[in-house]
Amino acid sequence: MELYSRMMEEITFHTGLSPTAFFTIAALMVVVYRTVCGMFVAPEDFNKPPTITASATNINISNNSFGNLNFNDSTNEKPVHLGDVTEQQLRAYDGSDPNKPILMAIKGQIYDVSTSKMFYGPGGPYAMFAGREASRALALLSFKPQDINGNLEGLDAPELEILQDWEDKFEEKYVKVGQLVPEPMRTEQTQSGDKFKES
C-alpha cells in the first residue's frame, strides 16, 4: 500500500498531473497509437495477392455454374480459382455486386483486379473493362465499347507490343484466377432456332 502511495506521489511530482489524469492520458495515447498503426499495412503484407473468401464470392459451391470453382481450404482465405469461364459469365464480375470479386481478362487469361477497385469499380476510370476481355482496347489504348473484346485481328506489331506490356503488368500485379472458354455449343434445336431460340 505504501508502495502504491509512493508511486502516485512520484507521478504527481514528475508529471504535475494527478494519477487519474496521468492514467487517462496514458490510456488515450495507447488508443491513438493502436488506431494509427491499424491504418497502415505491414511491409510484408503490402504486395500480398488478394484473398477471396467463399462468402465474398457469393457462389453456391455445391451448385455453381462454373463447375471448376475450387475453394482451397475450409479457412476460406485463399484465392479462388474459377477455371473455365465464358465471356458471358465473366460479365457478372464487373464490380456491380460488392460481394463478388472484380475480374478482367487479357489474352483469354482472367485476373482478379479487386485490389484496384478505384480503377475498375463502379465509377472508376476503367470500370468499362471490369468483367470484360479487354485485350483489343488495351492494345489500341481505346475506350470505345466496340474495342472492348478479345479480337486481336488486324493489330500491328507495336499494338501487340503494347498489349504484351499490359499482360506483363497484370501478371505481375494480379492473381490469375481462370481462363476464357468459348460459349458452349448450342444444340441443333437451338441452332435451327425453333425450340430454344435466344432472345
From residue 54 to residue 93, the character string flagging contacts with ligand HEM as x (rule: CB under 6 A) and all else as - is ----------------------------------------
**Phi and psi torsions of 160, nearest 5°:** -65, -30
- The only residue of 21, 32, 141, 152 in contact with ligand HEM, by rule CB under 6 A: 141
Q: Is 25 helix (H, G, I), strand (E, B) or coil?
A: helix
Dist. CA 97–CA 89, nearest whole Å: 14
- The only residue of 22, 66, 71, 126 in contact with ligand HEM, by rule CB under 6 A: 126
CB of 19 to ligand HEM, least distance (A): 51
Dist. CA 68–CA 85, nearest whole Å: 9
Count the residues of the shown chain that bind ligand HEM, applying the rule CB under 6 A: 11
Dist. CA 48–CA 52, nearest whole Å: 12
Q: Does 138 bind ligand HEM (CB under 6 A)?
A: yes
Identify residues 153-182 at the interface with ligand HEM (CB under 6 A): 173
- The only residue of 58, 70, 75, 142 in contact with ligand HEM, by rule CB under 6 A: 142
Q: Does 145 bind ligand HEM (CB under 6 A)?
A: no
Identify residues 6-25 at the interface with ligand HEM (CB under 6 A): none
CB 146 within 8 A of CB 140: no
Identify residues 89-118 at the interface with ligand HEM (CB under 6 A): 113, 116
- Judging by DSSP bridges, how do beta strands 103-106 and 83-85 pair with one another? unpaired
Q: Does 144 bind ligand HEM (CB under 6 A)?
A: no
**What are the angstrom distances between the C-alpha of 187 and each of 85, 190, 193?**
19, 5, 10
Angle, helix 19-38 to helix 2-15, in steps of 10 degrees:
70
Q: Of 23 and 143, which has the nearer Cβ to ligand HEM?
A: 143
100: DSSP letter: S
Q: Which residues bind ligand HEM (CB under 6 A)?
A: 113, 116, 119, 126, 129, 137-138, 141-143, 173
